């Protein structure tokens, strides 16, 4: 009888040990056969007797890293920290961190997405950020509503909002601090806005573009290997080094000096457009501001026409028509197209009056001869 009991016990133990075979199982029933717990406890996976992976009672997958366990309301895989979602400082929720070191300092920041080693590693209270890439927004602490895609993108960025950077170390902002203002900037391309530490509403699109800017606002740069005239530009435009601008003053062509922000040229006049190397066009229309801006006043009865003998004396003395700039003046100051056309029309009308007067004299002489 004793031998029978021992044999039965061994058989029962052997059957129990084979209920889940490491080499595979057949004939399982999902309703009865499973890996897991039957009480309200998480399922723990251990390596070398240490917890490494856990499925919580809420069904969330939690991975352990050097920062320990994560908690509910967030998805942390290889990232996150030990601060629970109901910590004393407030609730954090909607965060997703994938990658070792990612979002490891978060306390009350919400709705952040970090993907990549050390992405959003220093974030504590910032919310609504998307950081994809190794070290993306690594030093960001309180920044919110930013998008960073690429390795080292916004890596030195500490505080700011509504910035978008895509491309290797674009808008890296290394050296910025909590007092720096970075808002509404867009950087697309490798090294775009690399060193910008203070600035709002800047746009840089292209490879290695605007790397010299450390501070500046409302600048637009598009192209490759393009920098601004200074490290702190304001309202500057550069498209491919073909079209440039400064505070609404536009230039077309290669300029070695910055355009005047107020549009005032060396001749003292204000212009909106500066063009190098000429313009070729099929049509140009110039607006005339007032009626007295045209030259028809020459035909008024009270207009004083210079006598031909005085005109002859003036030409002999000066070598040009009255009111018309000299060659030296034209070369030095250029000519204003509208004013020159009006002046030329005036001279044509004066010449016409002289011709008419000469014709009257000729007709009078002809009558006397007859």
Instruction: Answer with the one of 128, 151, 186 that is the final residue of a domain.
Output: 128
User: What is the per-residue pLDDT for 11?
Assistant: 40
Q: For residue 263, what pLDDT band results from cuts at 50, 70 and 90?
A: very high
pLDDT digits 0-9 by tens, 68-116? 444 457 788 878 875 655 555 557 888 899 998 999 898 889 999 999 9
Share of the chain above pLDDT 70, in %: 88
User: What is the per-residue pLDDT for 196?
Assistant: 97
Q: What mean pLDDT do residues 337-347 have?
A: 91
Both tokens assigned to 11? 């058989």
Asked whether the predicted pLDDT for residue 330 surpasses 60, the reply is: yes
Both tokens assigned to 255? 């300029």
Q: What mean pLDDT do residues 336-358 have?
A: 92
CA 8 to chain centre: 78
Instruction: Answer with the one of 66, 100, 128 that is the final residue of a domain.
Output: 128
**Within-domain flag for 320:** yes
pLDDT digits 0-9 by tens, 144-177? 999 999 999 999 999 999 999 999 999 999 988 8
Least confident of 23-32, 115-124, 174-183, 231-240: 23-32
Q: Which domain holds residue 93?
A: 39-128
**Within-domain flag for 143:** no
User: What is the per-residue pLDDT for 18?
Assistant: 43
Residues 6+ apart with CB under 8 A from 274: 249, 250, 251, 252, 253, 255, 259, 265
Phi, psi of 314 (to 5 degrees): -60, -45
User: What is the per-residue pLDDT for 207?
Assistant: 97
pLDDT digits 0-9 by tens, 189-238? 999 999 999 999 999 999 999 999 999 999 999 999 999 999 999 999 99
**Within-domain flag for 284:** no
**Within-domain flag for 328:** yes
**Within-domain flag for 242:** no
Q: For residue 61, what pLDDT band results from cuts at 50, 70 and 90?
A: low
Q: What is the pTM assigned to this prediction?
A: 0.73
User: What is the per-residue pLDDT for 2?
Assistant: 45
SS (H, E, C) 11-44: HHHHHHHCCCCCCCCCCCCCCCCCCCCCCCCCEE
Both tokens assigned to 363? 């007709």
User: What is the per-residue pLDDT for 14?
Assistant: 43
Q: Across the chain, what does the average pLDDT equal?
A: 87
Q: What mean pLDDT do residues 289-309 have?
A: 86
Q: What mean pLDDT do residues 30-51 have?
A: 87
**Within-domain flag for 261:** no
Q: Which residue has the higher pLDDT, 117 or 57?
A: 117
* CA 212/CA 215 separation, integer angstroms: 9
Identify whether the C-beta of residue 265 lies closer than 8 Å to the C-beta of residue 271.
yes
* CA 345/CA 298 separation, integer angstroms: 10
pLDDT digits 0-9 by tens, 268-297? 889 999 999 988 999 988 887 766 678 888
User: What is the per-residue pLDDT for 335?
Assistant: 86
**Within-domain flag for 29:** no
User: What is the per-residue pLDDT for 21?
Assistant: 79
User: What is the per-residue pLDDT for 17?
Assistant: 42
What total of structural domains would you count in the chain? 2
Instruction: Answer with the one of 128, 144, 175 that is the final residue of a domain.
Output: 128
**Within-domain flag for 321:** yes
Q: Which residue has the higher pLDDT, 141 or 108?
A: 141
User: What is the per-residue pLDDT for 56?
Assistant: 72
User: What is the per-residue pLDDT for 325?
Assistant: 93
**Radius of gyration over alpha carbons of the chain, in Å?**
41
Identify whether the C-beta of residue 219 lies closer than 8 Å to the C-beta of residue 228.
yes
Asked whether the predicted pLDDT for residue 19 surpasses 80, the reply is: no
């Amino acid at each position: 009888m004793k031998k029978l009991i021992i044999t039965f016990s061994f058989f029962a133990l052997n059957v129990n040990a084979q209920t889940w075979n490491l080499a595979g199982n057949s004939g399982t029933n999902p309703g009865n056969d499973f890996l897991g717990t039957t009480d309200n406890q998480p399922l723990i996976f251990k390596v070398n007797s240490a917890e490494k992976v856990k499925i919580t009672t809420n069904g969330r997958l939690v991975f352990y890293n050097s920062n320990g366990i994560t908690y509910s309301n967030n998805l942390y895989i290889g990232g996150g920290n030990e601060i629970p979602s109901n910590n004393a400082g407030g609730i954090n929720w909607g965060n997703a961190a994938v990658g070792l070191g990612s979002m490891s300092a978060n306390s009350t920041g919400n709705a952040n997405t970090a993907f990549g080693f050390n992405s959003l590693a220093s974030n504590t209270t910032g919310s609504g950020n998307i950081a994809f890439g190794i070290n993306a927004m690594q030093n960001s602490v309180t920044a919110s509503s930013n998008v960073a895609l690429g390795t080292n993108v916004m890596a030195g960025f500490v505080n700011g909002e509504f910035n978008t950077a895509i491309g290797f170390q674009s808008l890296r902002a290394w050296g910025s601090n909590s007092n720096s203002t970075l808002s509404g900037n867009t950087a697309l391309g490798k090294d775009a806005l690399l060193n910008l530490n203070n600035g709002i509403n800047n746009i840089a699109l292209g490879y290695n573009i605007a790397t010299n800017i450390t501070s500046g606002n409302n600048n637009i740069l598009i192209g490759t290997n393009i920098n601004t005239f200074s490290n702190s530009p304001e309202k500057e435009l550069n498209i491919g080094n073909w079209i440039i601008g400064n505070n609404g003053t536009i230039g077309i062509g290669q300029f070695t000096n910055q355009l005047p922000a107020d549009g005032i040229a060396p001749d003292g006049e204000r212009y909106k457009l500066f063009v190098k190397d000429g313009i070729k066009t099929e049509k140009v229309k110039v607006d005339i501001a007032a009626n007295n801006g045209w030259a028809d006043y020459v035909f008024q009865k009270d207009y004083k026409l210079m006598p031909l003998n005085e005109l002859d004396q003036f030409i002999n003395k000066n070598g040009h028509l009255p009111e018309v700039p000299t060659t030296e003046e034209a070369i030095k100051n250029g000519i204003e197209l509208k004013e020159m056309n009006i002046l030329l029309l005036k001279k044509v009308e004066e010449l016409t009056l002289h011709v008419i007067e000469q014709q009257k004299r000729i007709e009078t002489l002809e009558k006397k001869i007859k």
